Structures are given as structure tokens and as C-alpha cells.
Amino acid sequence: MNQAELHRILALKSQENKDSLDLDVLYNRRLSANISLIKTHFFSLYQEVEHKDYFFKLLDQIALLFKARPTELKNQDLERLNSGNWYQSEKMVGMQLYVDRFNKDINGLKEKLPYFQDLGINFLHLMPITTRPTGENDGGYAVNSYHEIDGKYGTKKDFLDFAKKARENNMFLMLDFVVNHTSDEFEWAEKAKKGSLHHQNYYYTYADRHIPDEFEKTLPEIFPQSAPGNFTYNEEMEKWVMTCFNTYQWDLNYRNPEVFIEMLGNLMSLANLGVDVIRFDALAFLWKKLGTLSQNLPEAHTLISLFRMCLQVIAPGVILLAEAIVAPRNIIKYFGEGISEGNECEIAYNASLMALLWNSIATKKASLMLKSLTEIPNKPNDGTWINYIRCHDDIGLGYDDDFVRAMGSDPTAHKQFILNYYTGRLEWSPAKGLMFMYNPKNGDGRITGSAASLLGLETALELKNKIIIDYAISKILMMHGIILTYGGIPMIYAGDEIATLNDYSYEQNQDHVNDNRWVNRPIQNWDVVASLNKTKENPSTIVYNGLKNMIRLRKEHVLFKDSNEVKIHGCPNEHVFVYERTYKNDSVWVLSNFNELTETLDIGWLLSIGIHAGKNSIDLLTQETFNLIHNALPLKPFQQLWIKNI
């Protein structure tokens, strides 16, 4: 039992005792339930002898933050507790978007609520909308404020009105909490630059290069091309400051307990805007230690759990998403281990599945995906994944090298092949992507590009080749079909639902030209949306209607909720990926052919995993039964089936 389940029990017992309306009573019970863990975590990070006063400051801060939470949201917190793990529901289907690029501003976004409802979207991840520096700002991830809305998007009132409208329409909202760093224009940074030693201690600042040089011996470079190194000299302070991401993003010093207490306040300011899920950005980097990579350290996990234990007391209806794009075995840890099991983040990005899907497209085989997903430990029952094929960021190739070797490949050569496949270095590849942040020191690199262009649609349209156009469309739908049926919340990237191609206009934008991730950050094409269904053979129409059908089917079948009921079957055909979703006595098998040739599965094997082949089962996607050929089930190139016995 994790702490969330304990709070749920306490809330239900309070209702039985007729004191459920006393929000303060329930707050005190949550505090009593969590205070021992809060104390343990706090003093494991900050020695008790020196920091006892800060612990009492933290308790005072928690009380003040609860008092400041709007009553409407406090009541919603209790509803969420009573509803159980609402975020694991089969009804959850998300979309990630930039507000300004989707439809100008917050009010423009509100106008498009019917569009989301038509497609079946009820969970929105809005990219950063708070104030940021003019010019380069890492797409808003260099924050000047954690809760003030940038004027280009509207006002705070606009957002509060939008959040209320979203709640009325049973739509959930997610915003980013940039927890690792601020911009160099943030109020603490400005005070530090003016000579405040107190605020210089909110960051990692050094008068000379001695300690920075020691850090550099082991710290990797996040952006080796545009921001090499991990420290920047600030002339106003006459000091070096740690800047692991960009020169204008200053890493916060969580070794200082004041930073944690202040950031908890910033977290709640964001939550009080009416946000349901808070995405902890770059949380793997939170704790820095000499002689290490300063990523995924035990102290970082303790810090995240401390945030969550405090948040549960103040606002138990708000949950956390771990933005940890790390090695497969490390991702699981962000749900919590040991005394923190189930007590870190409720949600994490399934970056492993994402990378493995792109690997399977390039290799035309599901072998590495099968091995990787079956050998990674299960997540806790109360956690869930964000499953996605594309996001605003680059695609990192986070494969486990041991698994690649086990498949008979050299990890370095394999990664180079994948990079070459997607970035135009293989003449036969239909993919049109770009290389992002290639590091010649180790041959590492990442990939940018829209899903449709990476899956060959841009090339196919240029060639006017109907066959490879159909292949590209099938790949787009197959990839989305997997994230819609695999355990977790599917997150569609805005524009992918209408098969948007690469946007090369970033090359003419002075603020974007040095960051080719903007090639997959397009402006939503509402002319294309308006023309949907006018031309049935249009790729945008086929993809939109295909996704709409799959989303509807997902919501109609409770077995697609995330209860860890995903059984991956070791398919004898290396090109086909097969898994089964079950609920009580009901099952659906999802079969995906990653090859450009028709592949077959023997009836004997299908029967062995429970499929009643032939006329005794149907494909939910088409509502058609199957015709076996020579006692085998054929799967066309890039075809996907959702099989249900009848």
C-alpha cells in the first residue's frame, strides 16, 4: 500500500463518520500519515543538526500552502481520492501541444475544445505558457516565473477561465514544472547577479574554475553543439554558474534546503491554476555530486519523493509525471523504490517503448522490442505510463546495450545505423529526419522530424508513389495503435493526427535556426482540418479517421485501462509484435507487422496463445472476421489487428 491509497482510505472513513466536509480535518490526517516520511526524506538530504529549523519552516510552508489552495480545488482533490487511480482509466487519451502554434493563445485554444472532443481527446499537455526571456528560451523551458502567464498567450484570468471550462468538460490539464533550473532572468538569478550571496547559494556558483573543472571530468554534455560544457561565466557576479542545459538556464542548488521550500511554493502556485498533472521536467538532473554523471542519483529520487509527500498533504488530487528520458532500467525507479515504492511519481514517460518502436520501423523487426520489454521489471500497480511515438523534443536512442548485444549486434554500430536510417544517410530509407546534437566524441546523436516525415510520408508524396504513401499511412496508424492499446495513457503529438510533415520554416527564424527540433513543432494547419472528409483518399483524412476510430474503441473496452495486464507473446515471426490485454475473462490481442512484406502466423501458434482463428474471432478495427490461407493468418505490410474472440 502506498501513501495515496492510505489517504484514500482515510478520506472514505471520514465520509462514513459524516465529517467529510471538514477539509481541515482531512488535511491534518494526511499530514499525520505523511509526516514521518517527510521527516525521513528531509533529514536524509539535509543533516538534522544543521537544518532542524528548516524542517519546521517546511511544515509552516505546507500549512500556508494548504490554506491558500482554492476551496473548489480542495473539493476536487477529495473527489479524485475517492475515484481511485483515475489516471489509469481507458478513457484517458492525451494530446501535447504548443498553445500559440495550435491556435494563437489560450482563448484560441478554448475555441478548439470541440475539436478535441470530436477526436476523443480529454487530456491536454500544454507546453510552457509562463513568462520567459525574449529571444532564445528553450521553447519556454527557461522560466522567468512558474505561475505568471506570458502575455503572448493571454492573462492569468484567461487561463483560469480555460481551466474551469476544461473541468466542466471533464478534460484534464498538464503543465510543466521546470524543477531543475530557472532562466538567468528569474528573480533569484537577478538578485544573485547583483551580489546577493544568499541568492547565489540558490545556484551552483564558483569564484574560480577549480570545482567546475572537477565536475566537468564526469558531467556529460546535454547540447554539445549549441551549449558545450556545463558552466558559464557571469561577468556581473564575476563567478562561474552551472548551466547543464543552456547558458541562460541556471541549475538550482537543492543542497540548499531553502531552495526546496521555495520551489514547493512555486509548485503549488502552478497547481492552483487548476492543473491536474504536473510534469517534472529534467528531474533526473536534480542532485549534483562530484565524480558522478549527476543523473539519476539516489538523492534525486529522495527529493522527488519529498515533493510528492508534501504535495499529497496539500493537494492529493494533483499528480506528478516524471520526465526522465533515461535508460530502461532507470525509468522504472521514478515510480519509487524501497520505502519510496509507489511514492515518487504516479506517471512516467515510456521512453523505452518509444525508442523501441522507432527501432522496429528501421530494422523491420520486433526482436529488440520483445527482449527489452519482457526483461524490464514491471512498474508498481499504482503507476502508469505516458505512451507516445513523438513529442516536442528530439528522439533519443535509449536502448539497453546489453540487450542489443544479446541480439547479436554491436551497440555503437546499431545506433549509427538507426541514426543513418532516419537522417537521410541511407539512400534507400524513406525517412526524412534531421540529426540533432551529434557528438563526434562518442558518436552519439538524436533525431528530429515529424512522425509522418520520419515514417516516409513526405518522401512518398514527393515521389507521388501510391504504394509507399499507403505504407506510410499504415505505419502512422500502426504506431499510434500500439500506444493506444499498450498499458498507460496514450499521448498524441498535435499535428500527428492529421499527418503533418516537417516544418522547415524554422530555418528562417533567428530564434529557432540553431535548434532543429522546431522542424517537428509545426503550426496547426486548420485549413487541412477544415478539409477533412472532403477527400476520402487524403492522407490527413485517413489518419484522422483511423485515430478517431481507435480512440473510440479504446474507450469502449475497459480492458485497455492500465492494471498491469499486458502480456507480451514471444512471436515466432521476428517481424510481428504481439501482446494481449485482458480484463476478467475478456481479452484482445494486438498484432503489428513491422515489415514491408506480408507476414504470416501459423494457426497452431495463434491457438496456443488463445486466439480462435478464422471465423471465430474478429478484428475490432474493421469488425471483420479472418480468412486463413494454408492454415496461416496473413498480415499485410505494416498491418495491425486488434483481435477479439467471438
Can you spell out the DSSP letters for 195-218? T-HHHHTTB-EESSSHHHHHHHTT
Angle separating helix axes 23-45 and 71-82, nearest 10 degrees: 80
As given in the structure block, the three cell numbers for residue 284 are 533526473
What pLDDT is attached to residue 114? 96
The pLDDT, as a whole number, for residue 45 is: 98
Amino acid at 43: F
Residue 152: all three cell numbers together: 503572448
Is 90 among the residues known to form the active site?
no
CA distance 462 to 444: 30
State which residues of the chain have pLDDT below 50: none
CA angle 455, 457, 459 (to 5 degrees): 105
Contacts of 416 (CB under 8 A, 6+ apart): 443
224 within 8 A of 436, measured Cβ to Cβ: no
Architecture of the domain spanning 562-645: Sandwich (2.60)
Contacts of 134 (CB under 8 A, 6+ apart): none
Amino acid at 85: N
- Between CA 315 and CA 145 the distance in angstroms is 21
Indicate if 562-645 has the same CATH topology as 187-251.
Answer: no
pLDDT at 382: 92
- Helices vs. strands in the chain: H and E counts, helices first: 24, 23
Catalytic member of 150, 276, 323, 400: 323
Share of the chain above pLDDT 70, in %: 97
Element (H, E) at 581: strand 576-583
Q: Which pLDDT value is given to residue 18?
A: 55
C-alpha cell at 271: 497547481
Sign of the C-alpha dihedral computed for residues 9, 12, 16 and 18 taken in this order: positive
Paired residues of 183 in beta bridges:
249
Would you say the C-alpha torsion 341, 344, 345, 351 has a positive or negative sign?
A: negative
- Domain regions of the chain by residue span: 1-84+262-274+281-316, 187-251, 562-645
- Alpha-carbon gap, residue 414 to 412, rounded angstroms: 5
Tell me, what's the pLDDT at 511?
Answer: 86
Alpha carbon distance 574, 593 (integer Å): 9
pLDDT at 10: 66
pLDDT of residue 12: 66
What Å distances lie between residue 455 and 468, 499, 503, 603, CA to CA?
10, 10, 15, 31
**What is the predicted pLDDT for the residue at 468?**
96
Question: If we measure between CA atoms, which residue out of 409, 381, 391, 257 comes closest to residue 323?
Answer: 391
| Packed helices 71-82 and 3-16: angle between N→C axes, nearest 10 degrees | 100
| Alpha-carbon span 48 to 312, nearest angstrom | 23
Q: Identify the pLDDT of residue 16.
A: 59
Q: What is the pLDDT of residues 428-459, one digit of tens each?
A: 999 999 999 888 877 789 999 999 999 999 99
pLDDT (tens digit, 9 = 90+) per residue, 395-411? 998 888 899 999 999 99
Is-catalytic flag, 323? yes
CB 278 within 8 A of CB 319: yes
Catalytic residue among 176, 184, 276, 281: 281
Residue 540 · residue 534 · CB < 8 Å: no
Classified by CATH at the fold level, domain 187-251 comes out as Oligo-1,6-glucosidase; domain 2 (3.90.400)
